[in-house]
Amino acid sequence: MAHAPEATKVDKNLNKCGICLGSLRNPRRLLCQHCFCEDCLGDWIEHNQGNKAGITCPYCKKPTPIPLEGVKGIPVATGMAEAKEDYSKKLCSKCQKPDNQAIVYCKDCKHYLCQSCHDVHEAWWGGLKRHRISTIEDLISGKATLSDINNQYCTEHEGEDKKFYCETCKKPVCRDCIVLKQCCRDHDTVPIKQAADKHLIHLNEAMIKCSKKKQECQKAINKTQTIVKDLASSVKKVEDELEREKMDYVGIIETIYSNYKGEVKKVGIETNERLCNVKESLSKKLTKLERAQVLGERLSKSGSPYEIMSQCKSVLSSIQEASKVELDKVDEAMAKVQIPESTWILGHKWRQAGQFKVPCKGGYGPTGIAVASDGKIAMCDNYYRILVLSKSGDLTHTIDDGNWLGGAGDVSITSTNGFVIPKETKSCKLYDSNYKLLSEFKTYNANNIPSIARAVTVDKNGCIILGMEGKAISIHNADGSFKSSFAIPSMPWSVAVTSHEEIVVASYDNHTLQLFNYLGKCLLTFYPPPKVNTWNPRYVCCSKRDEVFVSNWSEPKAIYRYAASGVYMGCVTTDVSYPWGIALSHDDQELYVVEYGSKVVKNFKRP
């Protein structure tokens, strides 16, 4: 059998399959009466029909529904022996005259009849009245078959119509079937019209449902076609935009490359020289340590008492002198080494997605800002109240108890979407997500002196970290109870926390950005990005992937991004004026920036 069947015109010999052109094997008959091999039909459906519910005849293109059982549910082509005959050459089998060509076939008499014999047959109104007649033309076209059983006459009781329906046997029967046959005598039987009317009701209901389902399918198809068309249009539009943007970025990168190539090379040379100096200094100290060690070992192993007493002091002095290797300063020097990266010249990657005006009553507008996991945005309004807004900037609630907010005016969100608010009263208030006051606790600096909290953040465990006015960091449990505190070198303006319990502090008085652990040890200092004229970090926030975002309030005014390890990762945007509070959305995909003075909040999307 051919693997991918193609329909060929049916041969006059009806024993041939119109697909494989071979003899019929397990023949199946479609509604159009054309017959094909069972396997050929299976291949035809698989390669030409796909998942359709019907099969199109490979020969005449008329449809036939595919039963649930598949090809095996298509009726078997019975009576193929008769189908092989050439009906156009049949002669009358009644009168047997050589010139009398048959025009009909009587299925009850089993005779081909010419016109004359057919007239006599028709005129005989006795037992021949209800005989089943098929024309030769119908036999040739396939509209009728010799073995056709779809008729209204009973094949067991001659002359009887099937006027009844046996509900038990599930088939039409005649009166004699009910009276004479033992199997149907006690069965439930009804007039066939009554049964047909009953089934017709169900059929019509099913047809109505089918019609509705067809309409729904057609609507779905039309909708799908519309979506496909819109999708193609959108894809083309995006592709065109990407192509334009590609050319824009290519031009920008080429310009930046030509401008900064020499500078990057210069930075590389300077960095290499600094590294060489550090290495040379370490090598000299290592040589001194090795010499001192050799002298000490020789004196210890083979020195006489006299030599030990006379040389020990000088050898010990040499060892002590050589051991004064200030590795902390080496680490500091290494930390200042910045390897040139492509992020220096790639420019601004985040795009502004929108902005909204903050409904402030007066003053210079909002300062601190925080974003909850449910999308709420909380920010400080001119140091005396907290505004809660929707993502689109609509005011939904105000927290105002009449007391001024502490320090720089900050707010943070708890793990349960509540609010932590430092107050001017040297205390901090906790609210739940429904704005109900849960508690208020006093705030102290590292010397246990009541102090105002200038900044606040909450770590992944719910602990509250406060930046205190007395140059300190104070750590509290989620309920506000005191946990620990430590002093820091400068006044904190803003604080953020990484996933590793490391606190990022933007300092107010010495303009530094530093990283501390919870014990108070300074782990590193974030150095200003290249080309920054004046470094004045104001507000910080951290992402879940431990990126550190910082707003620079001096020139150039921008948002920068670092890794928690101190590595500079590029500029987020310069499309800001006086950036103060910054906060990331819960999924880290959007950055919200408060512009001090303009009362505007901008949000930028991660690329």
- Are both 386 and 535 inside the same structural domain? yes
- Are both 257 and 179 inside the same structural domain? no
552 versus 58: which is more confidently predicted? 552
Considering 320, 335, 350, which residue would you say is the last residue of a domain?
A: 335
Distance CA 526, CA 514 (A): 6
CATH for 558:
2.120.10.30
Q: Which helix (H) or strand (E) holds 561?
A: strand 558-563
- Are both 411 and 444 inside the same structural domain? yes
CATH for 79:
3.30.40.10
Residue 391 CB neighbour total at 10 angstroms: 16
Question: Does residue 204 sit within a domain?
Answer: no
- Are both 453 and 388 inside the same structural domain? yes
Question: Does residue 219 sit within a domain?
Answer: no
Question: Does residue 364 sit within a domain?
Answer: yes
- Are both 437 and 555 inside the same structural domain? yes
> What's the whole-number mean pLDDT along residues 548-574?
88
Sequence-separated contacts (24+) of 417-424 with Cβ below 8 Å: 417/372, 417/373, 417/374, 417/376, 419/370, 419/378, 419/386, 420/456, 420/458, 420/464, 421/386, 421/456, 422/452, 422/453, 422/454, 422/455, 422/456, 422/466, 424/452
- Are both 474 and 573 inside the same structural domain? yes
| pLDDT at position 9 over 60 | no
Q: Which of 146-155, 400-409, 421-430 has the lowest mean pLDDT?
A: 146-155
| pLDDT at position 313 over 70 | yes
- Are both 418 and 439 inside the same structural domain? yes
260 versus 476: which is more confidently predicted? 476
Question: Does residue 429 sit within a domain?
Answer: yes
Q: For 454-463, how does the pLDDT look when each residue is reduced to its tens digit (9 = 90+)?
A: 899 999 999 9
- Are both 323 and 361 inside the same structural domain? no
- Are both 257 and 245 inside the same structural domain? yes
- Are both 293 and 411 inside the same structural domain? no
Nearest to 147 by CA among 105, 117, 114, 177: 105
- Are both 73 and 93 inside the same structural domain? no
Nearest to 400 by CA among 425, 376, 383, 417: 383
Highest averaged pLDDT of the listed ranges 221-225, 356-360, 522-526: 522-526
- Are both 441 and 529 inside the same structural domain? yes
Question: Does residue 283 sit within a domain?
Answer: yes
Give the 3-state secondary structure of residue 598: coil
Considering 23, 53, 84, which residue would you say is the last residue of a domain?
A: 84
Question: Does residue 217 sit within a domain?
Answer: no
Number of independent structural domains in the chain: 4
Residue 291 CB neighbour total at 10 angstroms: 13
> CB neighbours of 166 closer than 8 A, spacing ≥ 6?
172, 173, 177, 178, 184, 187, 188, 189
Domain that holds residue 1: 1-84
Question: Does residue 214 sit within a domain?
Answer: no
Considering 172, 194, 216, which residue would you say is the last residue of a domain?
A: 194
CATH for 114:
3.30.160.60
Distance between start and end Cα atoms, the chain: 57
pLDDT for position 362: 63
Distance CA 338, CA 58 (A): 75
